[in-house]
Structure 1
Amino acid sequence: MDLIVVCSLIFTAVFLFVLGVDTLRTSKGNIIASRINQVTGKKADADKNINNNHNGNQLFRKFLARAGSISITRRLGRKIDKKLEEADILLHGGEFIVIIVCIAIATTIMIFTLTLKPLTSLVLGAVSVVIPLFIVESTRNKRLVDFNAQISDALTIMSNSLRSGFSFVQSMDMVRKELPNPIKKEFDRTITEVNLGTPIEDALNNLSKRVNSDDLELVITAVLIQRQVGGNLAEVLDNIGGAIRERIRIKREIKTLTAQGRISGVIIGLLPIFLAVFMLTANPGYILELFTNRVGLIMLTLAVLGQFIGLIVIKKIVDIKF
C-alpha cells in the first residue's frame, strides 16, 4: 500500500513539475512573440497563439513531448515508431510509451482505491498496458486493408491519366484528388516530397516503407523498373491492377470460407468474460475469491495467457497467406 502511494505521489510531482516549467517557458516565449508580432503587425495572431498555448490539450501534448524525449522512453519508443506511422497515429514512440505508463498507473490507483488489494491492482494495471497496443494494431490493420482496397482504383486512374498525356507525378495527383483517405494522404505526402526536391525513386520508396503493403510494393517495383528500362507504363499499371483485383477477390472468398473459424475464436474469447460477469452478478463472493487470493490471481493470470495464446493460434490457422 505504502509503495503504491509513494509511486503515485512521485508521478504526480514529476508531472506537475514538468508542466510548471513548460508553462513558464511558454509564457516567456509568448511575451517575446507578442512584442515581435506587434512590430510586424500581427498582434491578432499573437493573441490567438497565446490563448492556444494555454489550452489544456496543448499543455498535455507538450508534457508528452518532454517525457517522450527522455532517453529511456525514446529508446523503447523506437520499437513502436513504425507501427504508429503505419497506423497514422500522430505520436512518437516515446510519447506513446508515456501514455501507456500513465494508463497503467491510473488503472493501478483506481483499482487499489476500489479494492484496497495491492497485488490485484498491480496485475490489472499491467494488463491495461495491452489495451493501447491492441488499439494501435487494430488501427494499423484497418488502415492497411482500406489502403489495399483503393490500390486497384488508383491504378486505373493513373493508367488513364498517363494515356491522356499526364506525367507520372500528375497521375498521382489525380489519384490524390479523386480518392479519399488513406491513399489520398499518402499520395499527397509523396507529391509534397517530390515538389520539395526529393527524387521520385526515393519518394516512392518512402511511400512503400510508410504503408508496408505488399500490393503497393509490387506497384512501386514495377514503376521503378519501367523508369530504368522503359516501356508502356499505362499497360503495366493495368495488368498489375487486374492482378490485384483478382487477389482481393480470392481473399474475400477465403474470408468467407474461414468465417466459421473466426467466429469460433470470437466466441471462445468472449465466453469467459460473459461467464465472469454473470457470476459476479449472481454470486459475487464466489468469484471474488479469485481476486483476493494469491492462488486465484495466479489462476486468473494463467487463464488470460491461455486465452491469448488460443486466440493467436486460431488467428494463425484462419489467416491464409498466398
Structure 2
Amino acid sequence: MQVRENGRPVPNLSVLPANTAGTKELAVVLVIDTSGSMRGAPIRGAVAAARVFASHRNPQQQLGIVEFNGAVRTALPLTTNQVAIERALKSAPPLGRNTHVYDAVQTALGMLKAGHIAGGAIVLLSDGADTGSVATTAAVQSAAQAAGVRIFTVGLKSGAFDATALKALAAGGSGSFSIAGSSAQLSAIYDQLGSELSSQYVIRYRSQAKPHTTVRVDVSLPDGAGAALSYVTPALPVHPDPPFHRPFWQSASAFAAVSLVCAVLIALGLITALRAQPTRRSVGARLAEFVSPAEKPHDERLSLALRFFSGTEQKLARREWWGRFKEELDVAGVEMPAVQVVVLTGVGTLLLIVVIVALTGSPLLALLAFIAPLAVHVVIERRLEHQRSLFADQLADNLQVIASALRAGQSFVGALSVAVSDAPEPTRREFRRVVADERLGVPLDQGLSVVARRMRNRDLEQIEVVAALQRQTGGNMAEVLDQAADTMRERADLRRMVKTLTTQGRMSRWVVSALPPGLLLIISVINPTYVKPLFATAGGHAVLVVCTGMIISGSLVIKRIVDIDV
C-alpha cells in the first residue's frame, strides 16, 4: 500500500485493520426513518436490514442507532454490547409525522464526536425528502467533512420518494447512495454495507499541510486498486479567544516565589549572623571582665547576632530536652553550638518546603521536607553512638593502665592523670573532665557518675562504686580494676559476636528500606507515565507521604529488633 498527499509519498504510515483497531477507532451509527410513510412492511424491512448489518459488525466496532420522524431519538448510544444491540433491534419502533433527515444526521454526528471516534460512518435510511429540519444540507455536509465521517444513504422507493437530500448527503459525506425498489431489497444492501464497513482499515500519518489548505490523499494498492479523497485543513482562528489567566499574585507560583524569596533572605541573614558570631572567647575578652580595656568600635552585626542567638537559647533553655541535647552534641564532638544547629535545621527545613512546593505545587508533598530534621537527628545519633562505642572499647585498656599506676604507688586521682596522658579520644576528654572536677572539690565517684551517664556505660558505673568504696573504706583497688577489665573484655567479645550474628538483620533493614524508593526511581526512568499519577494527583501525593512514613517506621522497627543490648 502506498499513500500520497498532494502527490508526495507519506512517511511513517500506520495501517490498522478493523479487527485489531480499538473501540475508539471505528464506529457506525444507523439512522432509521420512522415517519408515517414507513408504516407496515417498510419499517419491518428496515429493522430486519439493521439486524443483518449488525451481524457483520466487528466485535471492536461500536454501533449506535438514531430514529427520526418529526423528532429525533437516540434509540441506542454507541456500544459494543451485543445484547444491548439485539434488544434495540428486537421490534419495530413507533412511527410519527414529518421527516427531519438533516436533524437526525446532525445528531448522529454529535454522537460520534462525543465518543471521540477516529473513523466514523453513518448509514441513513429514508423513503422521502426532508421536511422541517432545523439543520441545513450545507451545515451537515460541512460538519461531516470536518469530523471525517462518511455518510452512506439508502433510499426506499415510495409514492412520495425524493432522492435529492439523500444524494446530496452521500456526495458531501464521501459515501455512497443506494436505492431499494422494495423493503425486501434492504437486507441485501445493508449486508453489502456491513461487509464493507467491517473490513475497512484505519490509515494514520502526520500531515505536513498548512492550515486552510486543500489536500488530496491518494491510496493505491499493488493490484492497481485505490481510492482518493480531498479535504481542506482547518483554518486557524483569526481572533482567538485569549486564555484565562488568573492574576499572578493570586496564583500558586506567586506564593511559591514569595516564599522562596523570604526563605532566601532569612537564610542569608542567618548565615551572616553565624559568620559574625564568635566561637571562642579570646584571652583579651576574658581579661576584660576584670579590667577596663580600651573601647573598640561597636559591631552592629555582632550585637544583632548575639542578641538573636542569646534570645533563642533563653527560650529553648526552658524546655526539658534542651540540656540533654547540648550534652549529646558535646559527647558527639559537634563543635557547632546547639542553638546554631537548631536554627540552621529549621531554616533548611523551611527552604526544602518552599522548593518542594515550587517544583510540585503540592502542599501535601511538602511534608517530605521534615526528613531534614530527621536526617540531622540520625547524623547526631550516629556520631554519638560512635563516640560511646569507642569509649566502651577503650575502657578496659585504660583501667589496666590505672591499675598499673595504683600498684606503682599513685593515688586514684594520680592514676587517672596518668591514664589521661596516654588515653586516646574520647576517653582522654572524659577522664580529663573527672580530674578537673576533683580538683574543684567534686568527689571522684560523682565525677565518674557524670561520665557514666554521658557515655551510657554500665561498666563505668561499677568503677564508680569501687571509687566510692575506696574513698570511704580503702582496699586493694588495683586488683578490683584488673578483674573489672577482664570482665569488660569478655563482654566486649560477646558484643562483637552478637553484632556479627545480627549483621544479616541490619543488612535486611537497609535493603528493605531502599527497595521501594529504588524501584520507584527505576520505574520513573523506564516508564514515566506509569508513575505519573503519584506526582500529578493529590491522591498520589498522599500515597507518597504515607509510604514514606511507613518505610521510615519499618526501618526503625527492624533496627529495634536487631539492636540487642549486651
Q: State which of 386, 390, 393 in structure 2 corresponds to 1:146.
A: 390
CA-to-aligned-CA distance 1:287-322 (integer Å, 9 cap, x gap):
343233221122122222222222222222222234
1:38-187 alignment runs, 5 A limit: 65-66=309-310, 68-71=312-315, 75=319, 77-78=322-323, 80-91=325-336, 93-113=338-358, 115-119=359-363, 122-187=366-431
Distance change >3 Å, CA 217–CA 292, structure 1 → 2: farther
Identity %: 25
Distance change >3 Å, CA 146–CA 63, structure 1 → 2: farther
Query: CA shift at 1:101, angstroms?
Result: 0.5
Whether the aligned pair in 1 keeps the contact of 2:420 and 2:428 (CA below 8 Å) is yes
Query: CA shift at 1:276, angstroms?
Result: 2.3
Distance change >3 Å, CA 99–CA 74, structure 1 → 2: farther
The answer for the alignment partner of 1:235 in structure 2 is: 479
The answer for the alignment partner of 2:556 in structure 1 is: 312
Using the alignment, how far apart are the partners of 1:18 and 1:176 within structure 2? Answer: 39
CA-to-aligned-CA distance 1:32-71 (integer Å, 9 cap, x gap):
98xx9xx99x99xx99xx9xx99x9x99985873463251
Using the alignment, how far apart are the partners of 2:330 and 2:313 within structure 1? Answer: 18
TM-score by length of 1: 0.78
Using the alignment, how far apart are the partners of 2:521 and 2:432 within structure 1? Answer: 48
Q: Greater helix share, 1 or 2?
A: 1
Using the alignment, how far apart are the partners of 2:332 and 2:516 within structure 1? Answer: 30
Distance change >3 Å, CA 174–CA 22, structure 1 → 2: closer
Matched, 1:188 2:432: yes
Using the alignment, how far apart are the partners of 2:276 and 2:491 within structure 1? Answer: 57
Whether the aligned pair in 1 keeps the contact of 2:259 and 2:354 (CA below 8 Å) is no
Query: CA shift at 1:282, angstroms?
Result: 2.1
**One-letter code aligned to 1:98:** V
Distance change >3 Å, CA 189–CA 59, structure 1 → 2: farther
The answer for the alignment partner of 2:445 in structure 1 is: 201
Whether the aligned pair in 2 keeps the contact of 1:67 and 1:95 (CA below 8 Å) is no
Using the alignment, how far apart are the partners of 1:248 and 1:84 within structure 2? Answer: 25
Q: State which of 490, 505, 529 in structure 2 corresponds to 1:246.
A: 490
The answer for the alignment partner of 1:29 in structure 2 is: none
Q: State which of 464, 470, 475 in structure 2 corresponds to 1:220.
A: 464
The answer for the alignment partner of 1:263 in structure 2 is: 507
Using the alignment, how far apart are the partners of 1:252 and 1:217 within structure 2? Answer: 21
Using the alignment, how far apart are the partners of 2:421 and 2:475 within structure 1? Answer: 26
Distance change >3 Å, CA 268–CA 126, structure 1 → 2: same
Whether the aligned pair in 1 keeps the contact of 2:273 and 2:304 (CA below 8 Å) is no
TM-score by length of 2: 0.47
CA-to-aligned-CA distance 1:135-160 (integer Å, 9 cap, x gap):
11111111111110000001110000
Using the alignment, how far apart are the partners of 2:360 and 2:434 within structure 1? Answer: 54
Whether the aligned pair in 1 keeps the contact of 2:444 and 2:468 (CA below 8 Å) is no
**One-letter code aligned to 1:159:** A
SS in 1 for 2:561: helix
Distance change >3 Å, CA 295–CA 152, structure 1 → 2: same
| Greater gyration radius | 2
Give the number of aligned pairs. Answer: 303
Using the alignment, how far apart are the partners of 1:17 and 1:140 within structure 2? Answer: 30
Using the alignment, how far apart are the partners of 1:217 and 1:315 within structure 2? Answer: 26
The answer for the alignment partner of 1:302 in structure 2 is: 546
SS in 1 for 2:363: helix
The answer for the alignment partner of 1:291 in structure 2 is: 535
Whether the aligned pair in 1 keeps the contact of 2:399 and 2:481 (CA below 8 Å) is yes
Query: CA shift at 1:99, angstroms?
Result: 2.2
- Which has the higher mean CA deviation after the structures are superposed, 238-247 or 207-216? 207-216
Unaligned runs of 5+ in 2: 1-251, 279-283
Whether the aligned pair in 2 keeps the contact of 1:144 and 1:211 (CA below 8 Å) is yes
Q: Greater strand share, 1 or 2?
A: 2
SS in 2 for 1:320: coil
Distance change >3 Å, CA 60–CA 310, structure 1 → 2: farther
Query: CA shift at 1:119, angstroms?
Result: 1.6
Q: State which of 267, 276, 286 in structure 1 corresponds to 2:520.
A: 276
Whether the aligned pair in 2 keeps the contact of 1:162 and 1:168 (CA below 8 Å) is yes
- Which has the higher mean CA deviation after the structures are superposed, 198-207 or 178-187? 198-207
SS in 2 for 1:129: helix
Distance change >3 Å, CA 302–CA 14, structure 1 → 2: closer
- Which has the higher mean CA deviation after the structures are superposed, 187-196 or 283-292? 283-292
Using the alignment, how far apart are the partners of 2:303 and 2:518 within structure 1? Answer: 40
RMSD: 3.8
Distance change >3 Å, CA 250–CA 130, structure 1 → 2: same
Distance change >3 Å, CA 11–CA 307, structure 1 → 2: closer
CA-to-aligned-CA distance 1:199-220 (integer Å, 9 cap, x gap):
3333222222322222222222
Query: CA shift at 1:263, angstroms?
Result: 1.5
Whether the aligned pair in 1 keeps the contact of 2:513 and 2:551 (CA below 8 Å) is yes
Distance change >3 Å, CA 120–CA 22, structure 1 → 2: closer
Distance change >3 Å, CA 59–CA 91, structure 1 → 2: farther
Unaligned runs of 5+ in 1: 27-31
Whether the aligned pair in 2 keeps the contact of 1:67 and 1:94 (CA below 8 Å) is no
Using the alignment, how far apart are the partners of 1:287 and 1:59 within structure 2? Answer: 52
Using the alignment, how far apart are the partners of 1:303 and 1:268 within structure 2? Answer: 13
